């Protein structure tokens, strides 16, 4: 069987700036993988390029269940079974979450869509805002649960969760992590992006990858997240003997550049 997601030697640039510099990643069906990395290492760019956002030059390959992605339009990628939960979910006032889920499920020919929506709404605690505008005036944690709810309804083969924990308080992180854990399925591969290890206390990934400066520099089990918790990215870079120049002209020192901050800048 093909892997849920297979990325080989992916290089991505915008103008003269190379953001991803030869990235390899394989996520088998049934597994949850985490990518951790400092701000600016290219995590969101990876999601954007996989889902088909325009404006990037790419080389290398990416395939979903054996079908090449990079030559496809955004909607084709979606129909192949790719979904992204956004780092910053967009508010769509006037379109009820239930309507969006129902129309999308019908378009994707999901059987028993109404029952599935009802079940997922209960499971992910979105009933209270099912009849409100998509993400409209929701709290950070509610927005993230709304994204996961949509993924659960639409059953993608690959779910990309970009910073599903950013901006959430500790209880919301626990709740969102629980929701991710219940998405585990032999028919899906999940890529969960974070730059904190705290969410990994509540969801146990099969593999943890560390991305620094556009490359996966280390992969391992959940214990890798523990190493980062203890020594930070600087400690890991020291162990691996990596010295990384900032992608842009250095206005800051390399250590400042890689300092972990709560939000992407």
Q: Where are the alpha helices (DSSP H) in the chain?
A: 43-51, 74-80, 97-107, 113-123, 140-154, 170-182, 223-240, 254-257
Residue 94 binds which of ligand ADP, Mg ion, none (CB < 5-8 A, kind-dependent): none
Q: Which is nearer to Mg ion, 40 or 205 (CB)?
A: 40
51 lies in the binding site for Mg ion (CB under 5 A)? no
What does DSSP assign to residue 201? G
CB count in 10 Å sphere of residue 170: 11
CA distance 229 to 153: 34
Q: How far is the CB of 37 from Mg ion (least distance, A)?
A: 9
**Please, what is the minimum distance in Å from the beta carbon of residue 22 to ligand ADP?**
15
State the Cα–Cα distance between residues 43 and 191, nearest whole angstrom. Answer: 11
Neighbours of 22 (CB within 10 A): 14
- φ, ψ for residue 207 (rounded to 5)? -140, 150
Q: Which residues of 56-95 are buried (b: 16+ CB within 10 A; e: fewer)?
A: beeebebbbbeeebbebeeeebbebbbbbbbbebeeeeee
Out of 96, 234, 260, 264, the residue judged to bind ligand ADP by CB under 6 A: 264
Cα 107 to Cα 15, 85, 100, 102, 116, distances in angstroms: 36, 19, 11, 9, 15
Among 11, 18, 26, 39, binds ligand ADP (CB under 6 A): 39
Taking the complex as a whole, the smallest distance from the CB of residue 261 to ligand ADP amounts, in Å, to 10
Q: Which is nearer to Mg ion, 229 or 264 (CB)?
A: 264
40 near ligand ADP (CB under 6 A)? yes
Q: Does residue 227 touch Mg ion according to CB under 5 A? A: no
Asked if residue 264 binds Mg ion (CB under 5 A), the reply is yes
Nearer to ligand ADP by C-beta: 1 or 90?
90
Q: Which helix (H) or strand (E) holds 68?
A: strand 67-68
In 3D, which of 220, 219, 169, 227 has the Cα closest to residue 199?
A: 169
Among 31, 37, 89, 209, the residue binding ligand ADP under the rule CB under 6 A is 37
- The window from 37-45, 100-108, 205-213, 222-230 that contacts Mg ion (CB under 5 A) reads 37-45
Residue 19 interacting partner from ligand ADP, Mg ion, none (CB closer than 5 to 8 Å by kind): ligand ADP
Q: Is residue 260 a contact point for Mg ion (CB under 5 A)?
A: no
Please identify which residue in 44, 78, 84, 197 interacts with Mg ion, judged by CB under 5 A. Answer: 44
Site for ligand ADP contains 166 (CB under 6 A): no
45 binds, among Mg ion, ligand ADP, none (CB under 5 to 8 A by kind): ligand ADP
Cβ-based neighbour number of residue 35 at 10 Å: 27
Q: Specify the residue for token string 């949509």.
A: 150
Q: Which residues bind ligand ADP (CB under 6 A)?
A: 14, 17, 19, 37, 39-45, 55, 247, 264
């Amino acid at each position: 069987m093909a892997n849920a997601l297979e990325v080989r030697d992916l290089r991505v640039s915008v103008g003269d700036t190379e953001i991803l510099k030869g990235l390899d990643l394989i996520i088998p069906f049934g597994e949850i993988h985490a990518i951790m990395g400092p701000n600016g290492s290219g995590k969101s760019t990876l999601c954007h390029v996989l889902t088909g956002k325009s404006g990037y030059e790419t080389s290398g390959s990416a395939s979903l269940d054996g079908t090449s992605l990079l030559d496809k339009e955004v909607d084709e990628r979606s129909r192949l079974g790719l979904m992204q939960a956004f780092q910053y979910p967009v508010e769509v006032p006037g379109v009820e979450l239930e309507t969006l889920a129902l129309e999308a499920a019908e378009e994707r020919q999901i059987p028993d869509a109404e029952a599935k929506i009802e079940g997922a709404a209960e499971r992910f605690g979105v009933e209270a805002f099912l009849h409100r505008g998509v993400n409209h005036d929701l709290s950070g944690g509610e927005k993230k649960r709304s994204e996961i709810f949509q993924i659960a309804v639409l059953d993608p083969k690959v779910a990309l969760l970009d910073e599903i924990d950013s901006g959430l308080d500790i209880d919301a992180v626990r709740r969102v992590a629980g929701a991710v854990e219940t998405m585990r399925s032999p028919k899906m591969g999940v890529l969960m992006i974070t730059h904190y290890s705290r969410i990994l206390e509540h969801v146990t990934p099969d593999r943890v990858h560390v991305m620094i400066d556009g490359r996966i520099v280390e992969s391992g089990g959940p214990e890798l997240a523990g190493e980062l918790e203890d020594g930070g990215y600087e400690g890991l870079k020291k162990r691996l003997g990596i010295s990384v120049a900032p992608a842009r002209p250095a206005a800051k020192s390399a250590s400042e550049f890689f300092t972990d901050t709560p939000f992407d800048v």
